[in-house]
């Protein structure tokens, strides 16, 4: 059995016939080759697979592709614009907020979604927003500092 | 007949077209310039704008450019058409004989292309291991832990492979389980390994322990218990194997030591080493957990069996149940000291749970034994370490190789001793702390010891926080401060472990430095580039580091034991000097001048009064540019007896003092670590951005191990194989106030004076937290993790002991 869905991914419209158990992360990675979205826990806890669904950060490993029918998905590949890093990406680079980097795309998606909603979040609001993304390398400090630096600029994400 | 598959373009990163690569490198250089210009505002004038002189500068890593864009090719991200997916059918028994394996149903399942069992591997090629080849690639007739791989299946999809694994029927004859080292050592215990149940029995004696204890005015002792811990690298073990256009079996895998897998895979596959290539992919964290075989041998064999590329990615549950863990350990310890605080004796016994196979148990043991008593002078000491097999996943290497537990026990007792003697925690450490020219317990005379400087850096902060806490308005929480120190040896324990580097240049001026030790996420490629650039005099922007590839680099040992900056950094330094000499000589020949008249200076070539750009110089010597090959080998003399450990086990040591501030809710047993100051003597810091990042992460990991992290095990089963139940720290759980203090104590043997840092930032944290808890609520925790339940028990026990008998009888357990 397959389900017909339509999905806008990074601004491009697609139609897919998906199985009822196919997750969004597998669809993005296998069918579209968007491997910037990494896979880890498969239970929606670590946040490595975070993508934006209609502007909100979601764990794509516990979202069935069929549940995303009609939605607009943004992945890490569409965060940079016109050959330039987004302010969040550049801040992660400058602040050393990416070490092994496996969690990085998920953090950047979560932070970008936060800043789109609230361009000047407080430190507490940033930590609250990032609590669903796990990182083993950085101890979070430089990640929070990177997001804070963009929040201070208050520019678009 | 094996089909040949084209190797993927751009191995570590999806780099895009040549134009895209050029564009993004320009972007990176733009950002790098901006960072440097900001930094220049605070730098001495003579260092400003010098392209080659970047050691000590906080610089963003080149690889992060790709990581923030989602272009990093972790092994699971490497595109490969037609790749099969591999999964293991794993043992559901912790200890059993395998009576039979029935794969007939699995074989007939849709999409299944190959099934591999131990019977497909010649007996003399089946066993692999790190120090000893004791671990079967696939279990043959005996399983030693639940989760041990028995059958490997390659199928068209992950789902098909998974389904086929479920269809494998394994007939077990359960055997008695050994669940603790005590059971392993009990008379008549079932034997887990052909050589018995003991993995290692190590001893180190120094002076006369009995005399030392007799000379003591005060003796403190304690028993400590630590639980197993998981590395929790975010990227599960993964790999992709295929046969390349030259007929070479290529295995791309996330690992700390590609050259180790190179040898193992060649042996298991029965191929000459030149027909096997291991490429380290971008590694999504390792922490010691990517030093053993996981996916490598199985996918390599399945490529040979199917003729197709094969990939594998562990699930998170597999990571928890079937990869190595930090050893559970029991420690009994006794310290003697005189009234004036001088240590006279140290007597320690370790009993470690090594799990089902040897892995790094002996390495952990050696390190624990040598580090017992570090970084202090103990004139008399006796150390005994025993590790045994049990029916749990193998215990292996993890950030500090066990020293975090050594420090937890020792520093806790030193804190207690200071209290008994009425001394400050700083005073007792100052009296006994190692200084230049001291001898360690192995008899090694040490130099460039910055321990006391780290204490000096922390003490004023401690005093200031002490005052601040006294002035803190009462909010119902108890606050406390705790410190802990460490001394940590860099590199392998007691055996030589050289690193090498090679440096070449193309006619268009790109310099490639090939270094054997891989970057496992720490940013070592960036530090090595900085060292190679500064040593050779070429600009950092033109140095490209190639690391972790068995074909392109030499075996320089693993990235482990905090050794890369020191060992590979020294190799890169020596190599840079060699490159510089060869390049200058080539320019001199081309110009008909003496070599003494030519020098590379900050990315330019100076010939008398003339200055040439590096590119022009490359053109000038283009006829012989390919002859230039800088080579550097760093192989310091390391010698220690494997029986007594006496000698010089490490070329240098790192020192640290950490201070933590905690708040305790004594009613709930809840602990918050509010602030941390971490002072390190790691020598010269090559890249402060990377170094501080290591410290922040080490502190966070240390807090987790101190308070929450525990692999729950019962009856041979791991009960919490997921982040949901295994509590790894999130952004809300750890302090953002982590202050790194680098003493920058120049090490005479390090590259530009650098040592290492990666592991050490974790080690003092659990001990510092334990002492801070004593400071806050008067308890002395002796277990890791210090769970809420455990702490509450200690708090209540203390309250009961302190309360009048009548009150205790009334059941009032509150403090």
Residue A45 at interface with chain B, using a CB cutoff of 8 Å: yes
Residues of B in contact with A135 (CB under 8 A): 234, 731
Q: Which of A95, A132, A134 sits opposite B234 (nearest CB)?
A: A134
How many CB atoms sit inside 10 A of residue B207's CB?
16
Chain B residues with beta carbon closer than 8 angstroms to that of A104: 64, 67-68
Q: Under an 8 A CB cutoff, do A138 and B64 touch?
A: no
| SS3 category, B279 | strand
Residue range A87-153 forms a domain whose CATH class is mainly alpha
Q: B583 pairs with which residues across the strands?
A: none
CA atoms within 13 A on the CB side of B17: 2
Please give the pLDDT value at position B541. 92
Contact B659, B699 (CB under 8 A): no
Residue B318: closest C-alpha in chain A: A41
Ranges of chain B with pLDDT below 70: 1-7, 9-10, 44-49, 804-815
Task: Write out the DSSP string of B581-647.
Answer: HHHHHHHHHHHTS-GGGEEEETTEEEETTEEEEHHHHHHHTTTTGGG--EEEEE----EE-TTT--E
Give the A window 99-138 contacts with B, CB below 8 Å. 99-105, 108, 123, 127-128, 130-138
A67: tokens are 């549940």
Query: How deeply is B142 buried, as exposed, middle or buried, from its count of CB atoms within 10 A (0-12, 13-18, 19+)?
Result: middle
On whether the CB atoms of residues B302 and B269 are closer than 8 A, the answer is no
Residues 47-106 on A with a CB inside 8 Å of B are: 48, 75-77, 79-80, 83-85, 89-90, 92-96, 98-105
Question: What is the nearest CA distance from A111 to chain B, expressed in angstroms?
Answer: 12
Q: Which two tokens stand for residue B568?
A: 């590979």
Q: Is B72 on the interface with A (CB under 8 A)?
A: yes
Among A39, A41, A96, most B C-beta atoms within 10 A, so best to mutate, is: A96
Half-sphere exposure of B351 (CA within 13 A, CB side): 13
Q: Are residues B656 and B762 in contact, defined by beta-carbon separation less than 8 angstroms?
A: no
How far apart, in Å, do the first and last CA atoms of chain B sit? Answer: 75
Separation between Cα atoms, residue B508 and residue B617, nearest integer Å? 10
Provide the 3-class DSSP secondary structure of residue B475: coil
Residue of chain A whose Cα is closest to the Cα of B78: A35
Cβ neighbours of A92 in B, within 8 Å: 64, 68
Query: pLDDT-derived band of residue A157, with 50, 70 and 90 as boundaries?
Result: very low
Count of residues for chain A? 157
Domains of chain B with CATH codes? 18-77 (no CATH), 328-492+643-801 (3.30.365.10), 499-635 (3.30.365.10)
ipTM topping 0.90? yes
Q: Return the structure tokens found at A51.
A: 């993508």
Of B234, B287, B731, the CB nearest to A144: B731
Residues B68, A108: C-beta atoms closer than 8 Å? yes
Closest of B435, B427, B410, B487 to residue B463, by C-alpha? B427
Task: Give residues with Cβ within 8 angstroms of B263, minimum separation 6.
Answer: B273
Q: What span, in angstroms and rounded, lies between the C-alpha atoms of B259 and B264? A: 9
Tokens 């277990």 identify what position?
Answer: B783
Distance CA B95, CA B179 (A): 10
Minimal Cβ distance to B64: which of A98, A143, A144? A98
**CATH 3.10.20.30 spans which residues of chain A?**
3-78
Q: Tell me the shortest Cα–Cα distance from A86 to chain B, in angstroms.
A: 9
| Cα B723-B728-B730 angle, rounded to 5 deg | 105
Q: How many beta-carbon pairs under 8 angstroms link A with B?
A: 189
pLDDT bracket for residue A155 (50, 70, 90): low
Phi/psi for A94 (5° steps) reads -65, -35
- Please provide the average confidence, as pLDDT, over all residues in chain A: 96
Contacts of B58 in chain A (CB under 8 A): 96
> Which class does domain A3-78 fall in?
alpha beta
Asked whether B211 and B205 are in contact (CB, 8 A), the reply is no
Cα gap B12→B73, rounded to integer Å: 5
Contacts of B45 (CB under 8 A, 6+ apart): none
Which residues lie closer than 8 Å to B69 by C-beta, 6 or more apart?
Answer: A36, A76, A77, A79, A80, A85, A89, B24
User: Beta strand pairing status for B198-206 and B249-253?
Assistant: unpaired
> Cβ of B720 under 8 Å from any chain A Cβ?
no
Residue numbers in A near B286 (CB within 8 A): 100
**Nearest chain B Cα distance for residue A54, angstroms:** 20
Instruction: Chain A: give the shortest CA distance to residue B463, in Å.
Output: 25
Tokens of B90: 């794993």
Please write the tens of the pLDDT for every residue from A46-90: 999 999 999 999 999 999 999 999 999 999 999 999 999 999 999
Listed in order, the ranges of chain A carrying CATH 1.10.150.120 are: 87-153
**pLDDT reported for residue B815:** 42
Residues from chain A contacting residue B724 (CB–CB below 8 Å) = 43, 45
Interatomic CA distance for residues B815 and B797, integer angstroms: 10
């Amino acid at each position: 059995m397959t389900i017909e869905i339509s999905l806008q991914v990074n601004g491009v419209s697609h139609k897919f016939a998906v199985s009822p158990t196919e997750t969004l992360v597998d669809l993005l990675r296998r069918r579209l080759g968007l491997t910037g979205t990494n896979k880890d826990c498969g239970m929606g806890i670590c946040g490595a697979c975070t993508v934006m669904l209609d502007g909100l950060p979601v764990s794509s490993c516990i979202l069935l592709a069929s549940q995303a029918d009609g939605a607009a998905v943004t992945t890490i590949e569409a965060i940079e614009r016109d050959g330039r890093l987004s302010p969040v990406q550049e801040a992660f680079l400058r602040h050393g907020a990416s070490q092994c980097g496996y969690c990085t795309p998920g953090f950047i998606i979560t932070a970008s979604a936060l800043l789109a909603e609230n361009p000047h979040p407080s430190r507490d609001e940033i930590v609250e927003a990032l609590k669903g993304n796990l990182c083993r390398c950085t101890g979070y400090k430089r990640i929070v500092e990177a997001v804070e630096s963009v929040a201070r600029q208050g520019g678009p994400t | 007949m094996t089909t040949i598959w084209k190797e993927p373009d751009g191995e570590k990163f999806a780099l895009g077209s040549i134009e895209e690569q050029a564009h993004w490198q320009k972007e990176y250089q733009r950002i790098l310039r901006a960072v440097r210009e900001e930094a220049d505002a605070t730098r001495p004038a003579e260092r400003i704008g010098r392209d080659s002189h970047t050691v000590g500068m906080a610089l963003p890593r080149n690889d992060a450019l790709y990581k923030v864009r989602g272009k990093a090719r972790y092994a699971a991200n490497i595109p490969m058409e037609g790749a099969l997916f591999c999964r293991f059918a794993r043992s559901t028994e912790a200890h059993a004989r395998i009576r039979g394996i029935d794969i007939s149903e699995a074989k007939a399942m849709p999409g299944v292309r190959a099934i591999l069992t131990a019977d497909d591997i010649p007996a003399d090629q089946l066993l692999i291991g790190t120090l000893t080849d004791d671990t079967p690639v696939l279990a043959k007739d005996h399983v030693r832990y639940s989760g041990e791989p028995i059958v490997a299946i390659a199928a068209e999809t992950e789902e098909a492979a998974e389904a086929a694994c479920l269809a494998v029927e394994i007939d077990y004859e359960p055997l008695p389980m050994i669940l603790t080292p005590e059971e392993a050592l009990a008379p008549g215990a079932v034997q887990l390994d052909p050589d018995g149940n003991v993995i290692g029995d190590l001893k180190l004696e120094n002076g006369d322990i009995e005399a030392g204890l007799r000379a003591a005015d005060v003796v403190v002792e304690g028993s400590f218990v630590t639980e197993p811990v998981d590395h929790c690298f975010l990227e599960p073990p993964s790999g992709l194997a295929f046969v390349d256009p030259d007929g070479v079996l290529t295995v791309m895998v996330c690992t700390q030591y590609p050259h180790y897998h190179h040898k193992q895979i060649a042996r298991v596959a029965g191929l000459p080493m030149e027909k096997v290539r291991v490429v380290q992919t971008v590694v999504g964290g390792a922490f010691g957990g990517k030093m053993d075989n996981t996916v490598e041998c199985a996918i390599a064999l399945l490529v040979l069996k199917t003729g197709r590329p094969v990939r594998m990615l562990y699930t998170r549950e597999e990571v928890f149940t079937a990869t190595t863990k930090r050893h559970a350990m029991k420690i009994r310890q006794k310290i003697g000291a005189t009234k004036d605080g001088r240590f006279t004796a140290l007597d320690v016994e370790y009993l470690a749970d090594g799990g089902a196979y040897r892995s790094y148990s002996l390495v952990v043991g050696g390190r624990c034994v040598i580090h017992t008593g570090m970084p202090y002078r103990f004139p008399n000491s006796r150390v005994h370490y025993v590790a045994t097999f049990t029916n749990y996943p193998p215990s292996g290497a993890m950030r500090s190789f066990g020293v975090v537990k050594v420090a937890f026990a020792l520093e806790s007792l030193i804190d207690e001793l200071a209290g008994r003697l009425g001394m400050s925690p700083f005073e007792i450490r100052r009296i006994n702390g190692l200084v230049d020219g001291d001898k360690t317990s192995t008899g090694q005379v040490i130099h460039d010891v910055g321990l006391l400087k780290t204490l000096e850096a922390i003490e004023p902060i401690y005093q200031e926080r002490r005052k601040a806490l006294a002035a803190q308005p009462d909010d119902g929480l108890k606050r406390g401060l705790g410190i802990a120190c460490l001394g940590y040896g860099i590199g392998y324990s007691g055996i030589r472990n050289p690193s090498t580097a090679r440096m070449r240049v193309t006619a268009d001026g790109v310099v490639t430095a090939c270094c054997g030790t891989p970057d496992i996420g720490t940013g070592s490629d960036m530090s090595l580039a900085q060292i190679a650039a500064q040593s050779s005099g070429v600009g950092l922007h033109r140095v490209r580091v190639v690391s972790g590839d068995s074909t392109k680099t030499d075996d320089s040992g693993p990235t482990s034991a905090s050794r890369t900056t020191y060992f590979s950094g020294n190799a890169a330094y020596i190599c840079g000097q060699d490159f510089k000499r060869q390049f200058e000589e080539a320019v001199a020949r081309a110009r008909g001048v003496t070599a003494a008249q030519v020098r590379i200076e900050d990315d330019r070539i100076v010939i008398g009064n003339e200055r040439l750009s590096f590119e022009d110089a490359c053109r000038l010597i283009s006829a012989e540019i390919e002859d230039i090959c800088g080579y550097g080998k760093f192989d310091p003399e390391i010698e220690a007896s494997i029986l007594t450990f006496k000698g010089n086990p490490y070329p240098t040591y790192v020192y640290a003092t950490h201070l933590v501030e905690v708040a305790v809710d004594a009613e709930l047993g809840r602990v918050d670590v509010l602030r941390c100051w971490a002072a390190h003597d790691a020598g010269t810091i090559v890249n402060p951005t990377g170094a501080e990042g290591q410290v922040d992460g080490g502190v966070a990991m240390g807090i987790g191990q101190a308070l929450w992290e525990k692999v729950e095990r019962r009856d041979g089963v791991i009960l919490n194989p997921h982040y949901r139940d295994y509590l790894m720290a999130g952004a809300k759980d750890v302090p953002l106030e982590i202050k790194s203090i680098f003493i920058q104590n120049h090490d005479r043997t390090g590259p530009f004076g650098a040592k290492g840092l990666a592991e050490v930032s974790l080690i003092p944290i659990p001990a510092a937290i334990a002492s801070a808890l004593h400071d806050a609520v008067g308890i002395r925790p002796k277990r890791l993790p210090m769970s809420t339940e455990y702490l509450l028990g200690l708090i209540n026990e203390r309250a009961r002991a302190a309360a009048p008998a009548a009150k205790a009888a009334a059941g009032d357990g509150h403090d």
